[in-house]
């Protein structure tokens, strides 16, 4: 999605461009539930893939950020960085950013992989078996959307020269923090309400209703969190 198209859609919807990512994801989820009979495995898998894609892309692009991390102690942040051009036509990697990349890239998967394992156990299916053609298209759309975000925020017009690695790391960590908040404050309460309702009416037979009962509140919560309801800070900022 080009920057101009991105801005046009944002203006038409009356929302910030940062909202487009969760809006697009939830649009695919609702369409998948209503028209393609997606089940809980596909829904959770798409959430986790979106988180993983954001984490990998933005933590990786931190390697290219030329500005120092403000407030971070250490001599390497006070001197001029050494650019290392590994691939032609790609931005240079700055040597002082490698450490922060190696620190935070595994951090995300410490949280993501247990949820992936839970999906496999819950559905009794492997991850590849959950990726139907429609789910594959949704994954492709998520990847394109997030690559567009990376390009616009850090790569277009050599924006990385004016950004610090901390800015990219925060974007990469944001959905992981969001996931933990949603599990605690949306998933658990919605589950309690659904279980209570199931006992009251002797069961809820419609899987579609159950899935939408999760997806819609989660979408609302993500919108609220994007609007300043969640802030990510790195250790040196505390």
- Picking from 105-114, 133-142, 198-207, 210-219, which range would have the lowest pLDDT averaged per residue? 198-207
Q: What is the pLDDT of residues 50-101, one digit of tens each?
A: 999 999 999 999 999 998 887 666 667 767 778 888 887 889 999 889 999 9
State what percent of residues in the chain have pLDDT above 70. Answer: 85
Q: What is the pLDDT of residues 153-167, one digit of tens each?
A: 999 999 999 999 999
Q: What is the mean pLDDT of residues 11-24?
A: 58
Count: domains in the chain = 1
Query: For residues 22 and 176, which has the higher predicted lDDT (pLDDT)?
Result: 176
DSSP assignment letter at 83: E
Domain span including residue 70:
3-237
At residue 12, the pLDDT reads: 45
């Amino acid at each position: 999605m080009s920057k101009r198209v991105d801005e046009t859609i944002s203006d038409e919807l009356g929302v910030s461009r940062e909202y487009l990512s969760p809006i697009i994801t939830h649009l695919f989820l609702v369409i998948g539930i209503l028209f393609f009979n997606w089940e809980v495995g596909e829904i959770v898998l798409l959430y986790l893939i979106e988180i993983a894609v954001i984490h990998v892309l933005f933590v990786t692009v931190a390697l290219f950020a030329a500005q120092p991390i403000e407030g971070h102690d250490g001599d390497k942040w006070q001197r001029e960085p050494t650019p290392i051009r590994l691939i032609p036509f790609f931005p240079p990697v700055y040597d002082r950013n490698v450490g922060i990349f190696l620190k935070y890239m595994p951090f995300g998967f410490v949280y993501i992989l247990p949820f992936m394992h839970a999906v496999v156990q819950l559905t009794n299916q492997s991850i590849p078996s959950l990726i139907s053609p429609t789910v594959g298209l949704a994954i492709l759309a998520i990847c394109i959307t997030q690559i567009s975000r990376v390009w616009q925020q850090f790569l277009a017009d050599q924006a990385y020269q004016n950004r610090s690695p901390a800015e990219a790391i925060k974007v990469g960590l944001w959905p992981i923090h969001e996931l933990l908040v949603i599990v605690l404050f949306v998933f658990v309460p919605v589950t309690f309400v659904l279980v209570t309702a199931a006992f009251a009416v002797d069961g809820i037979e419609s899987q579609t209703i159950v899935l939408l009962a999760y997806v819609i509140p989660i979408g609302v919560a993500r919108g609220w969190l994007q609007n300043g309801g969640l802030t990510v800070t790195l250790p040196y900022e505390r």
